[in-house]
Amino acid sequence: MEVLLEKSSPTTASLRVKLTKEDYQPKVDKTIKDYSKRVNLKGFRPGKVPTHVINRMYGKSILVDEVNHMLSHAVSDYIRDNKLQVVGDPLPNRDQAAAIDWDTQTDFEFVYELGLATDFEVDFTNIAAVPHYTINADEKELESTLTNLRERFADSTHPETSEEGDMLYGELKQESSEFSTKTAIPTKQLNAESLSKFVGVKKGDTVTFDIQNTFNDASAIAHVTGKKKEDIDQLAGEFTFVIEDITRSAPAELNQEFFDKVLGPGQAESEEQFREKVLEIIKGNYERESEALLRRDMEQALLNSVAIELPADFLKDWLERTNEGKFTREQIEEQFDDFEKSLKLSLIKNKVAEAHGIKVEYPELLEYTRNMVRSQFGMYGDDDSMNETIDRIAAGYLADKERDNYSNVFNQVFDNKVLDVVRGQVATEEKTIEVSEFERIARGEDKAE
């Protein structure tokens, strides 16, 4: 067997594999003999089928399988042994492969197109300090959060007479079109000119209104009528709404019941304790958001500091071929910048991992998944029974091949270990900023000075 690499540019090459009969025939003969011992054919005793019969019936398919098997190993072994920085998968020359005459040829030549990334080094000394933000979650932020929580856990009443802000339930009808549906009308979705019709009404009252001139926007009409947004233009004229119930939401009181609903039973026994714990949660959430932003910024810093050339045309061809029927060339072109960025970042992380001996073992994946289970299901107990339950759920999650959970967790743990190394090498610039400023930065709309 002969394997030759022919580079056409710094990022593209052809891998030529030549096979002679001496390379593959011993393997073909062995497989035919194995077939003769295992196959059952009418007229022959089990295990006694002559090899020439097997060759006549299955010889061609065995030859193709063995040659393809040798090719796969030859290409992957050459790439590994020569440490080629291959991106995408080797693309076989389809026209050449289709022209092979498996019935008469004894020598074969196959050509694979390769995409290569140029050599690069990761020099952390070239990376400037990355900002690390401490978000000032103050009393104002606490009050805003408490307001949202009180609205989320609002108490509902059913008054006799409606007011602005109430939700009205009843039957919406239009006799001329025979339209009828049970629905809810939020008074918050009514325009200023129509609001007075729905304020001061009682159960059993009927409100008549023009469907197109009553609500704030088309989405509200779609919600009330149950129609698709694109179909609401077909609605026209006066509708009637018979009030059957009125619901009014009042912000939850700051009492023990509310504390237990938000934090869990027994977590806070006074308003002072409740506010302290909520503020801790707010700060913890912002710390996680700050860490996520730091991770994003460090990844961008790596990309900015490392120059890698990639074979764009080859990768687009590879994406189109491997996703044939799923994505058009136009869609690939539109999303290619993001794909290229992700690929470069992956190459850089692999280089960092190689340089620092980073490996991911199964116990690390299991521990990561255990913590994920605890977080998602609130399982914070530490008794043997609870730990056994968590272990069983975690192991089952990693074993779910259909969702590829193992690979997803592996990549997350791998990324975390690489970023830990990066954080140890790259300086951070500590900054304290307000919530509004942090939100702008996180959206990419602003930068802290």
pLDDT recorded at residue 402: 84
pLDDT recorded at residue 381: 52
Using DSSP bridges, classify how beta strands 130-136 and 428-434 pair: parallel, antiparallel or unpaired.
Answer: parallel
The pair of structure tokens assigned to 204 is 């059993």
pLDDT recorded at residue 205: 97
Q: What is the pTM of this model?
A: 0.72
Model confidence at 39, pLDDT cuts 50, 70, 90, reads confident
Which residue ranges form the domains of the chain, and what is each CATH number? 2-116 (3.30.70.1050), 124-140+260-442 (1.10.3120), 155-250 (3.10.50)
Neighbours of 237 (CB within 10 A): 10
Please give the full DSSP string across 355-394, using - where no structure is assigned: HTT----HHHHHHHHHHHHHHHHT----SHHHHHHHHHHH
Residues 126-143: pLDDT tens digits? 899 999 999 988 888 899
pLDDT recorded at residue 155: 87
The one-character DSSP state at 328 is -
pLDDT recorded at residue 324: 84
Residue 3: is its pLDDT beyond 50?
yes
Residue 19: is its pLDDT beyond 80?
yes
Residue 448: is its pLDDT beyond 50?
no
For the residues 318-344, what does the mean pLDDT come to? 93
Residue 21: is its pLDDT beyond 50?
yes
pLDDT recorded at residue 58: 86
**Contact status, residue 24 vs residue 71, Cβ threshold 8 Å:** no
Model confidence at 449, pLDDT cuts 50, 70, 90, reads very low
pLDDT recorded at residue 387: 82
**Contact status, residue 135 vs residue 438, Cβ threshold 8 Å:** yes
- Please name the residues in contact with 409: beta carbons below 8 A apart, sequence gap of 6 or more: 365, 368, 369, 397, 398
Residue 269: is its pLDDT beyond 90?
yes
Model confidence at 57, pLDDT cuts 50, 70, 90, reads confident
pLDDT recorded at residue 5: 96
Q: How far apart are CA 415 and CA 423, in angstroms?
A: 12
φ, ψ at 335 (rounded to 5°): -100, 5
CA distances, 213 to each of 194, 201, 287, 344, 362 (Å): 8, 19, 47, 54, 62
Q: How far apart are CA 96 and CA 179, in angstroms?
A: 66
Q: Which residue did the predictor score with more confidence, 321 or 47?
A: 321
Residue 319: is its pLDDT beyond 50?
yes
Question: 106: closest CA among 19, 27, 31, 33?
Answer: 19
Model confidence at 383, pLDDT cuts 50, 70, 90, reads low
The pair of structure tokens assigned to 89 is 């998968």
